[in-house]
């Protein structure tokens, strides 16, 4: 099968398209014929070698953790999906080697969800990591109807999902983004503010008593000023900086694959509640270009790789 792989870490130029062996199918695994995947910042960080101190890496490796496609085979213990089903999954394993930027990928059954009618492979392939992260950060700080929630980097892949899910749950959402994305955030249900030197003043102008929840998707100065933004008894969660958010008394989330939760999110996409914003779509042969597009840091929504 064809796959986008790297033999050494570096810039996206190290990615090549090569023929590799088809993946094995374990007793509780599902072999997916890949139609679409997507780029998350973790993918180009893996290519660059930034995560080698956190997870075991085995070269050559195929990047990619998101996948949508058609079930080609199942292990003998699999009971929830069958050959021919349209499915999606978040395939983060405990080591980095067999990713989803390939014609075929094998994933654990527990990570798999069926794709409802009306949801495209591109939409489903862009959803898993971003959608699951959004759902799990909201769960981590117990966001409920009536909360005022500040979302940093609200126009990105994860941020746009957080905004929609929080607003759908009845929260008031304030989102930081560059001015070019403010109209987009309004469409999603957020009140936009500019980040930067005047962040605290901008947020306090909308929420004079502070916000109930800060959801950090960017780290750095935005997370550091959290004490100036929170109302009394407020909560904070980060997906970027475990040490700082812990010092602030908050929670750190590293997203986990959950097929049941992904299925719920796909249902929200199907009924129009949740919008999957696709910024650009690249063929597998242009995986390096797709990674570069994400590295720019100002993508609205997700970059999709179509296989």
List, as one string, the DSSP characters of 60-101.
EEE---EEEEEEEEE-TT--S--TT-EEEEE---SSEEE-SS
Does residue 209 sit in helix, strand or coil? coil
Which residues pair with residue 274 across a beta bridge?
A: none
Give the model confidence (pLDDT) of 100-135 as tens digits: 999 999 999 999 999 999 999 999 999 999 999 999
Q: Domains in the chain, please, with CATH?
A: 2-127+276-306 (3.90.180.10), 131-252 (3.40.50.720)
Residue 299, pLDDT above cutoff 90: no
Q: HSE-up of 188 (CA within 13 Å, CB side)?
A: 33
Hey, what's the torsion of the CAs at 6, 158, 222, 251, to 10 degrees? -100
* Rounded CA separation 28/40 (Å): 26
Contact 151, 173 (CB under 8 A): yes
* Rounded CA separation 192/185 (Å): 6
Helix ranges restricted to H, the chain: 41-48, 121-126, 128-140, 157-168, 182-188, 199-206, 221-224, 226-229, 242-247, 259-270, 287-295
As given in the structure block, the two tokens for residue 32 are 């997916």
CA 64, 68, 69, 73 torsion-angle sign? positive
Q: What percent of the chain has pLDDT over 70?
A: 99
Q: Tokens 């870490």 — which residue?
A: 9
pLDDT band at 296, cuts 50/70/90?
Answer: confident
* Rounded CA separation 50/27 (Å): 32
Characterise 257 by phi-psi region: left (phi > 0), alpha (psi -120 to 50), beta (else). beta
Contact 236, 123 (CB under 8 A): no
Q: Give pLDDT, residue 196.
A: 82
CA 188, 302, 140, 152 torsion-angle sign? negative
Average pLDDT, the chain: 96
| Consecutive H or E run containing 16 | strand 16-19
- Mean pLDDT, residues 202-214: 97
Give the model confidence (pLDDT) of 226-275 as tens digits: 999 999 999 999 999 999 999 999 999 999 999 999 999 999 999 999 99
Q: Give pLDDT, residue 180.
A: 93
CA 3, 124, 262, 78 torsion-angle sign? negative
pLDDT band at 301, cuts 50/70/90?
Answer: confident
């Amino acid at each position: 099968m064809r796959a986008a792989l790297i033999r050494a870490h570096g810039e996206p130029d190290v990615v090549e398209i090569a023929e590799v062996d088809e993946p094995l199918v374990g007793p509780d695994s599902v072999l997916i014929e890949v139609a679409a995947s997507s780029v998350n910042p973790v993918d180009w960080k893996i290519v660059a070698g930034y995560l080698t101190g956190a997870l075991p890496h085995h070269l050559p490796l195929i990047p990619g953790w998101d996948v949508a496609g058609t079930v080609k085979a199942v292990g003998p213990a699999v009971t929830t999906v069958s050959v021919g089903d349209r499915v999606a999954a978040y395939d983060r394993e405990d080591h980095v080697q067999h990713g989803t930027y390939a014609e075929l990928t094998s994933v654990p059954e527990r990570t798999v969800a069926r794709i409802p009618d009306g949801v495209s492979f591109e939409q489903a392939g862009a959803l898993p990591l971003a959608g699951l992260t959004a759902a799990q950060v909201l769960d981590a700080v117990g966001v409920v109807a009536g909360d005022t929630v500040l979302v940093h980097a609200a126009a990105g892949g994860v941020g746009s999902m957080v905004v929609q899910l929080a607003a759908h749950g009845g929260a008031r959402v304030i989102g930081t983004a560059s001015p070019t994305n403010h109209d987009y955030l309004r469409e999603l249900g957020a009140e936009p503010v500019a980040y930067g030197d005047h962040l605290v003043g901008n947020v306090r102008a909308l929420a004079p008593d502070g916000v109930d929840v800060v959801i950090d998707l960017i780290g750095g100065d935005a997370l550091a000023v959290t004490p100036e933004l929170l109302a009394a008894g407020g909560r904070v969660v980060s997906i970027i900086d475990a040490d700082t958010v812990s010092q602030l008394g908050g929670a750190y989330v590293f997203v986990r694959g959950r097929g049941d939760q992904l299925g719920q999110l796909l249902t929200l996409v199907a009924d129009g509640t949740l919008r999957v914003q696709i910024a650009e779509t690249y063929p597998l042969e242009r995986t390096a270009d797709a990674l570069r597009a994400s590295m720019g840091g100002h993508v609205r929504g997700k970059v999709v790789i179509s296989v």
